[in-house]
Copies of this chain bind each other. A is one copy, B any other.
Amino acid sequence: MPSESRRAAVEISKSLETRSALVDRALERYLPRATAAPGRLHEAMRYSVFAGGKRFRPFLFLASAEAFGLSLDEAMPAACAVEVIHTYSLIHDDLPSMDDSDTRRGLPTCHVVFGEAIAVLAGDALHALAFEILAGMTATFGHPARVAAVIRELSRAIGTHGMVGGQVMDLLAERGDLPHDLVPEIHRRKTGALVRACARAGPLLAGDAADIDPITRYGEHLGLAFQITDDVLDVIGETAKLGKQTGGDQAAAKATYPSVFGLEEARRMALTEMDRAIDALRSLRADRGDVLAALARFVVEREF
């Protein structure tokens, strides 16, 4: 990778850290206190939300929103909603009846600590909370039509045509009921749909529909680049850096890019998707696309 890419990746990595702290501070305000009843549920919600997530999705959404002229304060509630949705999906994915994962990012998963019933309900409560945060934006940000457009975008992205549908296809593939060449379709839904929605939510919240097409293409390629890189890191990554036992996907015979296309080809595919994501930004004003392009480079360059 050329040094330009590496420099951009380092920049984004720093920016991600700063932004992540801001997102965490905002999330702290949105999450119910552990001292309020039912405390056990609120502990579980907080445990998983503050379990060391990279805040990639909020970062992407904030970058997209700022590229279209929104301030950090204006965009922050929706950024938090996106992370709350992502956390709910991880809690449910990890359940014994699903991926049956005992650890995530080096910590015991929600159901291991709080039991399965509380884990299901913590996920459900976060799911509802995300929409409460989004709908509540009309009180502070105003622009109810734009807020409704973002709610529509996100709810579509995480339903049967997106995240949940992808998780179902992934489960079926694991059981050998689906051909493995469906792997891009699975990931387009399971991870890609929400990433795409985060990118699109920027112009939607800004009420600027003119550049929605390039941003959509950017989001689609970024989502694939992100997922393929995740799969690649799962194979080659060091246990310590990732904080989870690597090779887990392979052990469960998951439909991953490296297992279907081989490690080298998967790596090449990630770079291609990165190029396509950056290419999609060409029709935007230069300053609009800069951070988003650097983020695309970071996504395939990162080592965690």
Assess whether A117 is interfacial by the CB under 8 Å rule. Answer: yes
Per-position binary interface string of chain A over residues 78-109, scored 1 when its CB falls under 8 Å from any chain B CB and 0 otherwise: 00000000000000100101100000000000
A169 — which chain B residues lie within 8 A by C-beta?
Answer: 37-38
Assess whether A268 is interfacial by the CB under 8 Å rule. Answer: no
Assess whether A250 is interfacial by the CB under 8 Å rule. Answer: no
Assess whether A112 is interfacial by the CB under 8 Å rule. Answer: no
A151 — which chain B residues lie within 8 A by C-beta?
Answer: 131, 134-135, 148, 151
Q: Closest Cβ of chain B: how far from A234's Cβ, in Å?
A: 21
**A135 in complex: contacting residue of B41, B155, B161, CB < 8 Å:** B155
A128 — which chain B residues lie within 8 A by C-beta?
Answer: 127, 155-156, 158-160, 164
B144:A148 contact, CB within 8 angstroms:
yes
Assess whether A188 is interfacial by the CB under 8 Å rule. Answer: no
Given A131-B155, A155-B129, A158-B128, A117:B145 Cβ within 8 A: no
Identify the closest chain B residue to A177 (Cβ).
B40
**A120 in complex: contacting residue of B38, B95, B132, B155, CB < 8 Å:** B95
How many monomers of this chain does the complex have? 2
- The A interface, classified by DSSP as helix, strand, loop or mixed, is helix
Assess whether A165 is interfacial by the CB under 8 Å rule. Answer: yes
Identify the closest chain B residue to A100 (Cβ).
B117
Per-position binary interface string of chain A over residues 36-62, scored 1 when its CB falls under 8 Å from any chain B CB and 0 otherwise: 011011100100000000000000000
A155 — which chain B residues lie within 8 A by C-beta?
Answer: 128-129, 131-132, 135
A135:B117 contact, CB within 8 angstroms:
no
Given A98-B120, A148-B147, A152-B136, A45:B160 Cβ within 8 A: yes
Given A38-B160, A125-B159, A148-B148, list of 20 further CB < 8 A pairs? A37-B169, A38-B168, A40-B168, A40-B172, A41-B164, A95-B120, A97-B115, A98-B117, A118-B168, A124-B164, A128-B156, A128-B158, A128-B159, A129-B159, A134-B151, A135-B148, A135-B151, A135-B155, A138-B152, A144-B145
A-B residue pairs in contact (CB < 8 Å), sample of 18: A32-B161, A37-B165, A45-B160, A118-B168, A121-B164, A124-B164, A125-B164, A128-B155, A128-B158, A128-B160, A131-B155, A132-B152, A132-B155, A135-B148, A135-B155, A138-B148, A144-B144, A151-B151
Sorted nearest first, the 8 A-B pairs with minimum C-beta distance are A135-B152, A97-B116, A128-B159, A144-B144, A132-B155, A144-B145, A135-B151, A131-B155
Q: Which residues of A contact B (CB under 8 A)?
A: 32, 37-38, 40-42, 45, 92, 95, 97-98, 115-118, 120-121, 123-125, 127-129, 131-132, 134-136, 138, 144-145, 147-149, 151-152, 155-156, 158-161, 164-165, 167-169, 171-172
